[in-house]
Chain A
Amino acid sequence: MSKVWHYGDDINTDMLFPGKYTYSCSTAEQILPHLLEDLDPGFATGVRPGDFLLAGKNFGCGSSREQPALGLKAAGVEAVVAKSYARIFYRAAVNQGLLLIESPEAVEAYKEGDEVRLDATAGTITVGGQSFSFPSLPEAILAIRNAGGLLPYARAKLRVRV
């Protein structure tokens, strides 16, 4: 069963990835050992592909550093489910191809030990047996996601132009 990592409101980027490493760590291998270091020291060693991260409002606020989004994607986190997101983090996740689900109801419904399951095509997230639907992404964002992130998307565009 995939594990659910559950945190509170206003989880900022310093908690997700300490600022002191921003100029020394930029690749997935460098980022992973420090992911969520000041928030949950057990996360970096415990996270497995397919896990979910649940959080309250304003997830990812603070600095524009992309290491949290890049790191969570590289760690194989299936999706982040939060009540709301800070906007730069939201963009960073789009750019990395990390799925963010905004569902205050799903977060509220979660109780310790509940199983979380995602059906991306149906646009539903199931928490402890209760199902919640989330809206599909706008077309412009979907195109980036389908290309595998912003850089592959930009490259494809440039190739067409040449």
Chain B
Amino acid sequence: MGKTFAEKILARKSGRDALRPGEIVTVRPDRLLSHDNTAAIVAKIAVDLVEFGPARKDMHVVVLDHVVPAATEKDAENHKAIRRYVQRYGVEHFFDVGTGVCHQVMVEKGLALPGDLIVGSDSHTCMYGALGAFATGIDRTEAAALILTGETWLKVPESIRIDLSGGLSPGVTAKDLILSLIGRLGADGANYQCVEFHGAAELSIDERLTVANMGIEMGAKAAAFEVDARTVEYLDSIGVRRDGYEPVWADSDAEYSRRMDFDLSTLGPVVAKPHTVDNVVSVEEVEGTPIDQCVLGTCTNGRASDFELAASILKGKQIASGTRLLLLPASREVLRRAIASGAIDALLAAGGTLLPTGCGPCLGAHQGVLAAGERCLSTSNRNFRGRMGCAKAEIFLASPATVAASAIHGRISDPRKEIK
């Protein structure tokens, strides 16, 4: 009988022949990611690090992105402590303030490769499944133990197979695809499972990244796409050698807990209403809802293609008075590309405000925190109560096209009406 992606990759990483769902294996991940939470992780093992040192210098990737540049003295001290750790223990992969959101940096720097097993002390680590890695989130204590031992335990998950067909209509994006899927499956519809996307040849790497990024919003342990010509082309473009990775994919006769078909051509723009990501409705149902703040960016939809799409809608127009539009590129590389393409200029001319590359308002710690009663329309991945710093504010989630169209009117708007 055939094997799923998860069964194969975990067998390879644990040195076992064949694995079945439910088995617990000991694995040595290729990478461990942490961000502004690194100091808190390292503090747990300060004494042990002196005694044993880190298990591997090339495993840990540290990216400062969550509250950057530091908003308070406390944040600055936190960053300082992290830089000290990186220097003292010779952490090979360190990216300081401004490089970008950790997940985008992992991808751009070639640190998330096909066939890799990656764990990160951040729930959206699942994004690297877009490139055929098995990537999953862990907590700080586990990250601390990993720094010391270089290994951890994983339960082999069951898998859900999703077969995509057809193409997306104009004004409809990969964000609408993943939101629709989460709406159908529910916030825990893929709990403990690995979600495999088949038939995705039509989706660009950026689109796959958006989809995989939100796997956790349906509870998934990992989300995965097959490595194809587009993946190889992308990896070539960032300078990764073709002999530097070994793709893994599911057998055609693998066993799944559930299978679903998804015809992309039937999808329209959708919006996730407060306060859960699976509270998904068609854009028509919420059209006209007034919006105080629009956010374009984050690790979900902060890539150059997202800014270019938004710019194509906002070019030559002005955002509505009474609405603010925050631009949050996922990385410095993205920002440079979006500047070169003219997208950033068009968005600034339309009235946008450019924020430093990083997580910005996404987690409610600084830059664009909401006030009570305010409503935000965001391309990010979570609309939980209090997520943007105020429990009495509302967050709606949508695609970059929907956010751009809505910024023009100051109300939730159907992007298809803005596309000529």
Q: Give chain A's interface residues, CB within 8 Å of chain B.
A: 10, 12, 14-15, 18-20, 22-24, 26, 38, 57-58, 61-66, 69-70, 84-88, 91-92, 95-96, 138-141, 149-151, 153-155, 157-158, 162
A141 to chain B: which residues have CB within 8 Å?
Answer: 24, 153
Residue of B nearest to A143 (CB): B153
Q: How far does the Cβ of A151 sit from chain B's closest Cβ, in whole Å?
A: 6
A26 to chain B: which residues have CB within 8 Å?
Answer: 40, 43, 140
Is the pair B191, A87 in contact by a Cβ cutoff of 8 Å? yes
Residue pairs across A and B with Cβ atoms less than 8 A apart, 7 shown, are A12-B276, A15-B386, A23-B66, A38-B391, A63-B123, A87-B221, A92-B141
Say whether, besides A10-B276, A88-B139, A158-B52, A61 and B188 are in contact (CB < 8 Å).
yes
Say whether, besides A23-B36, A23-B67, A66-B139, A86 and B386 are in contact (CB < 8 Å).
no
Q: How far does the Cβ of B362 sit from chain A's closest Cβ, in whole Å?
A: 9
Is the pair B192, A66 in contact by a Cβ cutoff of 8 Å? no
CB of B122 within 8 Å of the partner chain: yes
Say whether, besides A22-B37, A158-B149, A66 and B141 are in contact (CB < 8 Å).
yes
A88 to chain B: which residues have CB within 8 Å?
Answer: 123, 137-139, 216
> With A and B bound together, what is the CA distance between A149 and B75 in angstroms?
29
Q: How far does the Cβ of B154 sit from chain A's closest Cβ, in whole Å?
A: 9
Is the pair B67, A92 in contact by a Cβ cutoff of 8 Å? no
Which residues of B (60-79) have their CB < 8 Å from a CB of A?
66-67, 74-75, 78
For the complex of A and B, list the 3 residue pairs with the smallest distance between their C-beta atoms, beginning with the closest. A58-B188, A66-B139, A154-B145
Name the contact of B149 in the complex, choosing from A84, A139, A140, A154 (C-beta under 8 A).
A154
Is the pair B187, A64 in contact by a Cβ cutoff of 8 Å? no
Which residues of B (16-64) have their CB < 8 Å from a CB of A?
24, 36-37, 40, 43-45, 48, 52
CB of B363 within 8 Å of the partner chain: yes
A24 to chain B: which residues have CB within 8 Å?
Answer: 74
Name the contact of A86 in the complex, choosing from B40, B122, B219 (C-beta under 8 A).
B219
Say whether, besides A92-B139, A157-B149, A20 and B363 are in contact (CB < 8 Å).
yes
B120 to chain A: which residues have CB within 8 Å?
Answer: 64
B167 to chain A: which residues have CB within 8 Å?
Answer: none
CB of B11 within 8 Å of the partner chain: no
Is the pair B137, A64 in contact by a Cβ cutoff of 8 Å? yes
A38 to chain B: which residues have CB within 8 Å?
Answer: 385-386, 391
> With A and B bound together, what is the CA distance between A107 and B315 in angstroms?
54
Name the contact of B142 in the complex, choosing from A61, A65, A91 (C-beta under 8 A).
A91
Name the contact of A96 in the complex, choosing from B52, B141, B363 (C-beta under 8 A).
B141
> With A and B bound together, what is the CA distance between A67 and B83 in angstroms?
23
> With A and B bound together, what is the CA distance between A158 and B144 in angstroms?
13
B216 to chain A: which residues have CB within 8 Å?
Answer: 88
New A-B pairs, 15, CB < 8 Å, besides A12-B384, A22-B365, A38-B391: A15-B386, A22-B37, A58-B191, A61-B219, A64-B120, A64-B122, A64-B137, A84-B191, A87-B219, A88-B139, A92-B141, A96-B141, A139-B24, A140-B153, A157-B149
Name the contact of B45 in the complex, choosing from A15, A63, A138, A151 (C-beta under 8 A).
A151
Residue of B nearest to A61 (CB): B187
A138 to chain B: which residues have CB within 8 Å?
Answer: 24
Residue-wise interface mask of B (178-199) relative to A, using a CB-CB cutoff of 8 A (1 in contact, 0 not): 0000000001100110000000
Is the pair A64, B139 in contact by a Cβ cutoff of 8 Å? yes
> With A and B bound together, what is the CA distance between A162 and B24 in angstroms?
25
> With A and B bound together, what is the CA distance between A130 and B186 in angstroms?
31
Is the pair A151, B123 in contact by a Cβ cutoff of 8 Å? no
Q: How far does the Cβ of B157 sit from chain A's closest Cβ, in whole Å?
A: 9
B191 to chain A: which residues have CB within 8 Å?
Answer: 58, 84-87
B348 to chain A: which residues have CB within 8 Å?
Answer: none
> With A and B bound together, what is the CA distance between A133 and B164 in angstroms?
41
Q: How far does the Cβ of B380 sit from chain A's closest Cβ, in whole Å?
A: 12
Q: How far does the Cβ of A105 sit from chain B's closest Cβ, in whole Å?
A: 18
> With A and B bound together, what is the CA distance between A153 and B48 in angstroms?
13
Is the pair A95, B52 in contact by a Cβ cutoff of 8 Å? no
Say whether, besides A38-B386, A91-B138, A154-B148, A23 and B188 are in contact (CB < 8 Å).
no
